[in-house]
């Protein structure tokens, strides 16, 4: 790892987070800084841990599937696809091909919406709010398309163990094609604003660098790895869903800029290239959409019975917008709920690469470097631990009473201080 030897022992520690305008989710960075330069950084996640794996081991597989979908607010379908693929391998359920294609299409649409959301957040971290509004304005189109196809903007509830629950019918094709055309010329404008802008280049070039061998050792995934030249993409390496039927290329920055530097700028380039790639994939899959049933086992009650009989362990993986998401599931015969369920979100692997990126940089760069791996902290924190106070649950009235009491106490203290 790139370590910085510092002559002077001066400098002081400061802290960014857990609540800070730059961080959309609670994670705490403790920084050893000297003037503006960062010498050492340490981060503490875990503030948004909700105990989803623990909850998952007390629900049957259909319920767990919707729980998995809510691990992350942005990449819901990736966790659903990964969990469902693991359970299908254990129960040996062959999913009809049309369902594979619909899963991949909605997965790619989610990649477009997630990357545009990230582009907006990154622009806001740079203080470039107009690009934030532009990116999120363009993103509305794919959100409306997803709402049109799946009935909801974020949590699509379209995945079921053994297939999908909603069909993409031919009279929806023109609406999809119209959105894809919109995104093609929107891509040109976004690429200009995010890549050719002088100030963005000044802020992002050679900032937060992750060298190729650092990237290989720390095993980051997704755009963070590809921006450092590591060719890792689950859709290409691991043949699954509809991705096994089409040819794709690893999106590394040299396709556009001709060189790989592994800095924040390259991560922007990688993500924009992926948006363009996703548009192409959606069109290809729509053209090759096979017809056939949507569900291997249409009736949920029959499905539950079959899952109760299944036993074994398997790994389900999917290329989330932020990188590889992996679910390890182990089922035992006669038990409804999974015996073991391990969720590995993409930010889980990308966390460690924060350290080499931030050391040696300025304080001003922390927000953009932290945002450059597109951390999804709610994905990575999954166990909720409530302080074990002995009292029972506080109802709303009690909470209200407590807060009123506290305000009275503060006012009394203030009054005492004003005129002792």
Partner 1 sequence: MSFPMIPELLGRLFRKPNTNPFPAAQLPPTVTGLLEKVGKGEARLNPPVPVPAKLRGKMTYNRETCIGCKLCIKVCPAHAIDFIESTKKIRIFVAQCIQCGQCTEVCPKNCLALSEEFLNASHDRYADALVVD
Partner 2 sequence: MNLLSPPQIAEVLQAAAGAGFVSARCTEWAEGVKGRKSKQVWLKIARESLIPTLQRLVAIHYPHISVIACADVGAQVELMYHFHVYWGIPHEEVLVTLTVALDKADLKVPTITGIIPGALTSEREKQEMLGIEVVDIPDGRRLFLPEDFPAGVYPWRKDETGIPPDMIKDLWATGRENLKFEDNPPPPAPNPANPVNPV
Partner 3 sequence: MNASLLLATIVGTLGLALFGIFAGLWFTGIDRVLAARMQARIGPPVRQPFIDLAKLLIKQNVVPANAIPWLFNGAPLLALASAITILLYVPMAALPGLPVLGLQGDLVLVMYLLLIPGLAMVAGGLASGSPYATIGAQREMVTMIAYELPLAATVIAFAWKLAQLGALHPFSLAAVAATPIWTVVGPIGFVGLLLLLATLLLVVPGELGRIPFDAPEAETEIAGGLLVEYSGRNLALFSLSLAVKTIVATALVVALFFPWNFTDFVALGGAPAFAAAANAAFFLLKLLVVLFFSVTLVRISVARFRITQVVDVYWKILGALSLVGLLLVMVDAHVR
Number of residues near partner 1 (by CB under 8 A): 34
Rounded Cα distance, 386 and 92, in Å: 38
The SS3 assignment for 312 reads strand
Across the strands, what pairs with 342?
328
Contact region for partner 1 (CB under 8 A) — 98-106, 131-139, 223-231, 380-388?
131-139
- 413: helix, strand or coil: helix
Q: Are 332 and 87 in contact (CB under 8 A)?
A: no
Residue number with CB closer to partner 2 (80 or 138): 80
Among 38, 84, 93, 134, binds partner 1 (CB under 8 A): 134
**Per-residue binding letters, 116-155, with partner 3 (x by CB under 8 A):** -------xxxxxxxxx-xx--x------------------
Q: Which is nearer to partner 1, 35 or 170 (CB)?
A: 170
Residue 14 found at the interface with partner 3 (CB under 8 A): yes
Rounded CA-CA distance 20/391 in Å is 31
Q: By CB under 8 A, name the one of 36, 144, 217, 254 that touches partner 3.
A: 36
Angle at 214 between CA 343 and CA 229, to 5 degrees: 85
Which of the choices partner 3, partner 1, partner 2, none does residue 22 contact, using the CB cut-off of 5 to 8 A by kind? partner 3
Residues 135-194 interacting with partner 1 (rule: CB under 8 A): 137, 144, 147-148, 151-152, 155, 157, 165-166, 189, 192-193
CA–CA distance, 11 with 37 (Å, rounded to integer): 9
The binding site for partner 2 (CB under 8 A) comprises 1, 44-46, 49, 51, 53-54, 85, 89, 95, 97, 100, 216-221, 230-232, 236-245, 247-248, 250, 288, 290, 313-315, 317, 324, 326, 328, 330, 339-340, 342, 344, 348-349, 351-352, 380-383, 385-388, 390, 392-393, 395-396
Which residue carries 């299944």 as its tokens? 310
Smallest gap from residue 282 Cβ to partner 1 (A): 18
Q: Which of residues 189-218 bind partner 3 (CB under 8 A)?
A: 197-200, 202-203
Chain centroid to CA 7: how far?
39
Both structure tokens of 370 = 């932290």
Using CA atoms, how far residue 75 sits from 49, 150, 184, 377, 403, in Å, is 17, 15, 22, 12, 36
Q: Which parts of 109-249 are beta strand (E)?
A: 159-160, 163-164
Q: According to the binding rule CB under 8 A, does residue 22 interact with partner 3?
A: yes
Rounded Cα distance, 244 and 347, in Å: 25
Query: Least distance (Å) from partner 3 to the CB of residue 16?
Result: 9
Taking the C-alpha atoms of residue 69 and residue 155, their distance in angstroms, rounded to an integer, is 7
- Least Å distance between CB 253 and partner 3? 20
Short-list 154, 131, 143, CA closest to 179: 143
Beta carbon of residue 172, minimum distance to partner 3 (angstroms, whole number):
28
Q: Are 41 and 13 in contact (CB under 8 A)?
A: no
Work out how close the CB of 139 gets to partner 3 at its nearest, in angstroms, rounded to a whole number.
Answer: 13
Measure the CA–CA gap between 328 and 313, rounded to whole angstroms. 7
For the chain, the C-alpha Rg in angstroms (whole number) is 24
Contact residues: partner 3, CB under 8 A: 12, 14-15, 20-22, 35-36, 123-131, 133-134, 137, 197-200, 202-203, 362-367
Contact residues: partner 1, CB under 8 A: 59-60, 62-67, 70, 128, 130-131, 134, 137, 144, 147-148, 151-152, 155, 157, 165-166, 189, 192-193, 196-199, 299-301, 304
């Amino acid at each position: 790892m790139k370590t910085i030897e510092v002559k002077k022992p001066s400098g002081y520690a400061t802290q960014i987070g857990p609540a800070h305008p730059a961080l959309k989710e609670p994670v705490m960075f403790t920084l050893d800084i000297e003037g503006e330069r960062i010498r050492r950084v340490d981060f503490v996640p875990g503030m948004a841990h909700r105990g989803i794996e623990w909850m998952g081991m007390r629900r049957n597989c259909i319920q767990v599937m919707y729980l998995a979908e809510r691990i992350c607010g942005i990449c819901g379908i990736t966790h659903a696809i990964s969990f469902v693929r693991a359970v299908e391998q254990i129960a040996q359920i062959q999913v009809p091909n049309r369902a594979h294609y619909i899963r991949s299409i909605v997965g790619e649409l989610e990649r477009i919406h997630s990357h545009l959301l990230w582009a907006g957040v990154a622009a806001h971290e740079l203080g470039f709010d107009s690009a934030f509004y532009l990116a999120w304005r363009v993103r509305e189109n794919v959100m409306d398309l997803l709402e049109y196809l799946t009935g909801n903007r974020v949590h699509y509830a379209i995945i079921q163990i053994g297939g999908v629950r909603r069909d993409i019918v031919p009279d929806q094709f023109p609406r999809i094609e119209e959105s894809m055309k919109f995104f093609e010329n929107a891509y040109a404008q976004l690429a200009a604003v995010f890549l050719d802008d002088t100030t963005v280049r000044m802020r992002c070039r050679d900032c937060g660098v992750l060298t190729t061998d650092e990237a290989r050792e720390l095993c980051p995934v997704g755009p963070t790895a590809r921006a450092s030249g590591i060719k890792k993409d689950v859709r290409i390496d691991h043949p699954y869903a509809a991705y096994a039927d089409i040819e794709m290329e690893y999106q590394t920055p040299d396709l556009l800029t001709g060189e790989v530097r592994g800095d924040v700028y390259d991560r922007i380039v990688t993500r924009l290239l992926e948006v363009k790639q996703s548009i192409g994939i959606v069109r290809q899959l729509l053209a090759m959409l096979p017809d056939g049933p949507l569900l291997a086992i249409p009736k949920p009650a029959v499905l539950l019975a079959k899952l109760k009989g299944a036993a074994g362990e398997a790994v389900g993986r999917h290329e989330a917008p932020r990188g590889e998401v992996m679910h390890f599931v182990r089922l035992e015969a006669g038990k409804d709920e999974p015996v073991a369920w391990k969720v590995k979100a993409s930010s889980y692997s990308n966390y460690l690469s924060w350290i080499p990126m931030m050391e040696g940089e300025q304080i001003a760069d922390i927000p953009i470097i932290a945002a450059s791996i597109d951390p999804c902290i709610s994905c990575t924190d999954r166990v909720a631990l409530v302080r074990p106070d002995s009292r029972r649950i506080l109802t709303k009235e009690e909470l209200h009473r407590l807060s009123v009491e506290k305000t009275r106490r503060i006012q009394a203290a203030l009054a005492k201080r004003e005129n002792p």
